[in-house]
Chain A
Amino acid sequence: MDLLGISLALFGAALATALAGIGSAIGIQVAGTSAAGVMTEDPDKFASCLILQALPGTQGIYGLLITFFVLNKLGLLGGGGAVAINWNQGLQIFAACMPVALVGWISAIHQGKTSAASIQMIAKKPEAMGKAIILPAMVETYAVLALLTSILMLMGVQV
């Protein structure tokens, strides 16, 4: 069995969860700090603040999703034993993980900043909640596209 192949694939899978997770953690922190500031003044805004804070969390989930996808493809889940892949296939899987890893990482941070700004917005104008949700969601679009790309690429890789 060519171990380089499976190593590369696992490296990619690890990065998908790791980088996207890091991005989400930072994004949620940025939004959370802003939310805490608003809630010191107005504790009743907890629910809307929480929704806005949760928005940059999806990237981490997308990363996790891709990681499991890869693990499943490699047969590493459920104890059935790994499938044999060569280094070429491993590199392909690695490449397929990159969109979600990189875009997830960076977009979550920026989505967090947008969420933080939106939280400030609803602090002054609670009725603008709809708009406040849409602004961060605009950033997330690219994470969704990256997720889609990663999924389609992974499905295309033959193992």
Chain B
Amino acid sequence: MGVTKLKKAELYYHKSVQEKVAEILQASGVCQLIESSGQEAPPSELEERLATSEEQLSHVRYLTRTLAGYYVDPVSSLDRVLGEKPIVSLSELEALAKQTDLSQAVDKVKERELSLNGLRMDMTQLRADEVTLLAMQAFPYPLSILTEGTQTVAGVSGTVKSDQLDSFKETLEPYDRDIELVVSQDFPKASTAQVAILYSRVIGPELLELLPRSGMTLMELSPSFKRTAKEELARVLSVQKETLTKEEQIADELRAIADEWMPTVQKLSDYWISLSNRYRAFCASDETGRTLRTLFWVPEESVASLQKEIEAVAPTTALFLSDPGPDDSPPSRLENGELIRPFNILTNLYSSPAYGQTDPTPLLAPFFFVFFGMSLGDAGYALVVGGAIALLFRKYRKIPAAVKDFILLFAFCTVSTLIYGIISGSFFGDFIDVFLKPLAPIKNLFVLVDPMKDPMQVLGISLLLGIIHLMFGLLIAAYDNIRTQNYLDALGDNISWFLLIVGLCLFGASVGGMVSEDVGLTGKIMSVIGTLLVFWYAGREKKGILSKIFSGLLALYGVTGYLGDILSYSRLLALGFGSAVIGMIINLLGGMSASIPYVGWLVAVIVIAGGHLFSILVNILGAFVHPLRLQYVEFFGKFYSGGGTPYTPLSLSREYVNIAQPAGEA
């Protein structure tokens, strides 16, 4: 439990074995390399290798990205994440990388990508031409008269708003002898009319200046239009067809390239990612003559086996281990037992604890477990989610650890959901009461709380859980302060508030008749002591009695913050209620649609199954986000600040293939 103890390792080795050593450290997957303290340039050989592997990696990335749309991966993305991967050894990959010239594939793909882009641009132009020509269909003469004109006549085309057409015609009346106006009204948008004007070149300049002012929007025609609009349209359409065929051809070629190359590219992807990660990390090594020095963090428990592996391949190395010093900032790896480990995700989502700080995971886990259960709160939903997870685990036997933990987190939370669903009598909402009446008495046997009938009871439970959660947070803060010998802070900042709030609650409970008067009196005394402590702590460094009193009062105002925090837990009622009512609505709709003649039962089944599935997804999101917020804002706010660096050891990339340990190869 807590944060793993790390050792700072200092490894000296001869350059001749550097590849082997690097391989061992990376394959072990437990060493996090440290940036070297010296500002020297990285060893030049390593830099070269890094450059090569990054170049290859950029090829891999380009191919994966560009060919993604043309490649049907035989492995589904779910299988990719959860399933077993082919086992390949590092030396096999190395051989594959040597005989594969990725740049060849890149050139092939780039060439086709370029011509595709060209074709697509052509297509855009052709589509625009098509629209223009469609609008010009009424124009009776060859279009060359508009695009080129003759010696004496030229033309111009454009659009005029339909309602301005009459006034536009009027403006042109004085030129009646020198122009011919062709109007086609049925231009796609009825609000505009397509017009073309043929005019004598003599009045050209005058007219071209007048037209835009009188409401005509001039339109440039493509100079390639020569024949009539009809003939040109036919030409454009046939060119469009050709272009599409060419595009399809190139797409086919890309598909063929993808089929040929992608399996190799995927394997090499893992290889080159691993190698560039390796060299980037090892660039931090120091170089002295023929030896290299590499610094890294390694968990105490892995030291022995690592040392053995290194010695097996390179006997002439020296490994020095030390504990983290005051100037070091070691990364933190959360180390928790089977039951708590999945909850590590929640802590890491917020921020890893600084090395040596308390790991909050085991502290938040039980609360998250309960809160999630209350928020989703439906036994039926729990069974569906649990069943889905069980199927996943049956199908995939070797799920990668990180993904497995994430699934396990939900698996655990379905347990609390199931329990809360049973004691609150919610099974797919009120499914049992509506459709399975005879089973209702069995369900009712286990019902302890009923948010539908008595929401105040569940509200009370929610707030009580909130108080417990918050007070637990305060006690942890007090413990942390005592551990670091800040006794004053523990007393004035944590214990004082604990006494004050717990005291007030006990007092309130005795007024409400829930506990005996003696307990109420204890509560009263506790809250008075708490108040005095808060008062004293806030004013302890102030001079003068007035400013002491003032800062004390100000500190006591913080009680509203606690009130807000506690009320925040009312969301547990609201969310659980939400799932129950949405479930009820779905059953109601299902019941109503069952009365449709003939197909009613089918509609009902679809509505109920689809509706509950939707409800599960929406409510899981809510049941995850809100309890998480209660941890992060209300709970962590009391004692936890995070701020550590996560432990991200150098390891092999295993997205597509499972790179085997190289140890056996030597």
Taking Cβ atoms with an 8 Å cutoff, the residues of A that contact B are: 51, 54-55, 57-58, 61-62, 64-65, 68-69, 72, 77-78, 129-131, 133-134, 137-138, 140-141, 144-145, 147-148, 151-152, 155
Q: Mark B609-634, 1 if CB is under 8 A from A, else 0.
A: 00000000010011001101100110
Of the stretches B125-133, B139-147, B541-549, B570-578, the one at the interface is B570-578
The tally of residues in B whose CB lies under 8 Å from a CB in A reads 32
- Contact indicator A129/B633 (Cβ below 8 Å): no
Stretch at the interface among B283-291, B324-332, B391-399, B581-589: B581-589
Contact A65 B573 (CB under 8 A): no
Contact of A151 among B577, B585, B621 (CB under 8 A): B577
Which of B581, B629, B633 is within 8 Å of A65, CB to CB?
Answer: B581
- In the assembled complex, the CB of B64 is this many whole angstroms from the nearest CB of chain A, namely 11
B266 interface residue, CB < 8 Å from A?
Answer: no
Task: Kindly identify which residue among A55, A65, A72 contacts B625, using a CB–CB cutoff of 8 Å.
Answer: A55
Q: Is the CB of B633 within 8 A of A138?
A: yes
List of A residues within 8 angstroms of B658 by Cβ:
none
Q: How far is the CA of A54 from the CA of B618 in the complex (A)?
A: 9
* A129 surroundings in chain B (CB, below 8 A): 349
**Among B349, B455, B568, B574, residue most surrounded by chain A Cβ atoms (within 10 Å):** B574
CA distance A128 to B621 in the complex (A): 17
* Chain A residue contacts of B459, Cβ below 8 A: 148, 152
11 pairs, CB–CB < 8 Å, chain A vs chain B: A61-B578, A62-B578, A69-B581, A77-B592, A130-B346, A134-B632, A137-B626, A138-B633, A141-B571, A147-B574, A148-B459
Bound together, the chains give a CA A99 to CA B435 distance in angstroms of: 33
Number of A-B contacts (CB under 8 A): 79
> Which single residue of chain A is at the shortest CB-CB distance from B592?
A78
- Contact, CB under 8 Å: B350 / A131: yes
Say if the beta carbon of B591 comes within 8 Å of chain A: yes
Chain B 545-573 interface residues, beta-carbon cutoff 8 Å to A: 567-568, 570-571, 573
Given contacts A54-B621, A131-B350, contact A148 B581 (CB under 8 A): no
Residue pair A151, B629 in contact (C-beta under 8 Å): no
A69-B581, A151-B455 as given contacts; A137 in contact with B588, CB under 8 Å: no
The answer to whether A65 and B349 have CB atoms under 8 Å apart is no
Which residues of A lie under 8 Å from residue B625 when comparing CB positions?
55, 133-134, 137, 140
Which residues on the B side are within 8 Å of A72 (C-beta)? Answer: 588
Chain B proximity of A20: nearest CB distance (Å): 13
C-alpha gap A77/B622 in the complex (Å)? 27
Contacts of B629 in A (CB 8 A): 134, 137-138, 141
Nearest A residue to B595, CB-CB: A79
B396 CB to closest chain A CB (Å) equals 19
Give CA–CA (A57, B567) in the complex, Å.
23
Q: A51 contacts which chain B residues (CB < 8 A)?
A: 621
A66 CB → nearest B CB, Å: 9
Given contacts A58-B622, A133-B625, contact A141 B568 (CB under 8 A): yes
Taking a contact as CB atoms closer than 8 A, the residue among A65, A69, A144, A151 that contacts B626 in the complex is: A144
Q: Contact check: which of B348, B574, B585 meets A68 at CB < 8 Å?
A: B585
